[in-house]
Structures are given as structure tokens and as C-alpha cells.
Amino acid sequence: MTDSDDDVPAWQRRTAGESRIAATAAVLAIVVLQVLLPNQFMPEPVWLLPALEVVVLGFLLAANPVRIDREETWLRWGGLALIGLLALATAWSADRLVVGLIDRTLSDDPAKLLGSGGAIWLTNVVVFGLGYWEFDRGGPAARAHARTTLPDFLFVQMQNPELAEPEWEPQFVDYLYLAFTNATAFSPTDVMPMSRWAKTMMMAQSSISLVLAALVIARAINVLN
């Protein structure tokens, strides 16, 4: 590292790459939630999508087990395929939940309604967090190599580097926080979307979260009454 590198924030220069632990744990948490959901919320056969997700995750771990810094095309497509599988399963679950709430075919047990609805809502949050993480500035590997300096998401630490650790750069937990706050506030909080695709994704997530929360809570209250 040269003296001039000291003046460049970590998120704008080449770094060692992000640890895979947090993102891997998030994917496994989604798979567990999918397995625990009632069968009506997963496409038949119910084991197929979770099994495919675990297989793709296994290949990614075998190829890049510790830090995400390899930029091979097939690894990039593998990461995108994993996000696609997770998003497909979540979209199916959300659709089945919304349709069941509207036509009143779901259980009249408030605990079951809130449990299933909460699990699907939480899965939606984590999937969008993974999506933001995978697409921002070309993904984690591209960010490690500083391929793009213009951010898709502007974090507080980027605006106020004097208040952040010298080696701070956005990692999965930061994107998960973004997804959670967007799902609860239905708008940006302290992380600003800069690109049009980022704004579109955040708008879609807010809409889905609002519909899920409103329908599940309304149905549960109606059953209790």
C-alpha cells in the first residue's frame, strides 16, 4: 500500500474480500425457514428448491470457501442462480399466503397465521438483503477488487468517513440492515439508493412487505374477533 492509498476509503480500493460466513448463514437460515413452513407454501415437490439451494451453495463454498474475492464468470452466475432460487421460493410462498388470506382458505389459527406470515416476511427481508449485497457495484468479488467506485447504495460511513473505521466497507450485515429498515419503514432510512435498479428493488420490497404485513395482521385480528 502506498501513502496515497491511505487517503482512499477501503470501499473504493482493492481489499482482501469479505468473509463468506454471514451470507452463508443467511442462506442456510432461509432454507431452514422454507423447510419449516407448511407444505402449502412451497411448490411441489417441497424438497426440490431447498435441495437445489443447498447444492448451489455447496459449490460456491467449495470454490471460494473463506473470502469472496474470485471473479470467475461461473462463480458470478452461481451466486446469481442461488439468489434466483431463493427469490423464486419466496415469491411462491408470498403468493400462496396472499391468495390464501384473500380467499380465506388458510387456517383460522391466529398463531399459525402469524407464524407462517412472519416466517415468509422474514425470508423476504433476507432475500432482498442478499439481492442488494449481490448486485451493489457488481457483487462482493467486484467490490473487493474495486471495479466500480460509484456506489449503488450510499451508506452513512461513505458520507462521513471520519466517523467510520479506517478499513470500513459495506458487508452483508449492512445490506441486511438496509433490507430490514426498508421493510419496516417502507422507505429509505440512512442508506440512500443511488441507481435506478436500487430504487426499483427497494420500491418492490416495500410494496411486498406492506401487503404481507397488512393482510396477515388484518386476518389474524379478524380471526381473534
| Spatial distance between the Cα atoms of 181 and 178, rounded to a whole number of angstroms | 5
- Please name the residue that has the C-alpha cell 403468493: 95
Residue 3's pLDDT band (cuts 50, 70, 90): very low
**Residue 106 pLDDT:** 75
Contact 146, 12 (CB under 8 A): yes
Residue 13 is classified by DSSP as S
The b-or-e profile of 89-110 (16+ CB within 10 A means b, else e) is bbebbbebbbebbeeeebeeee
pLDDT at 166: 83
Task: Reply yes or no on whether the pLDDT at 4 is more than 60.
Answer: no
Mean pLDDT of the chain: 90
Chain segment 8-40, per-residue pLDDT in tens:
888 888 999 899 999 999 999 999 999 999 998
The confidence band for 107, taking pLDDT boundaries of 50, 70 and 90, is low
Distances (CA, A) of 1 to 30, 42, 68, 157, 161: 39, 50, 21, 22, 19
Burial 42-80 (b: 16+ CB within 10 A, else e): beeebeebbeebeebbeebeeebeebbbeeeeebbebbe
173-220: pLDDT as tens digits:
999 999 999 999 988 889 999 999 999 999 999 999 999 988 887 777
Distances in Å between the alpha carbon of 96 and those of 10, 38, 51, 93, 195? 43, 11, 20, 5, 31
In this predicted structure, the answer to whether residue 167 has a pLDDT above a threshold of 70 is yes
| Host H or E run for residue 154 | strand 153-154
pLDDT of residue 156: 93
Query: E strand or H helix at 153, and its extent?
Result: strand 153-154
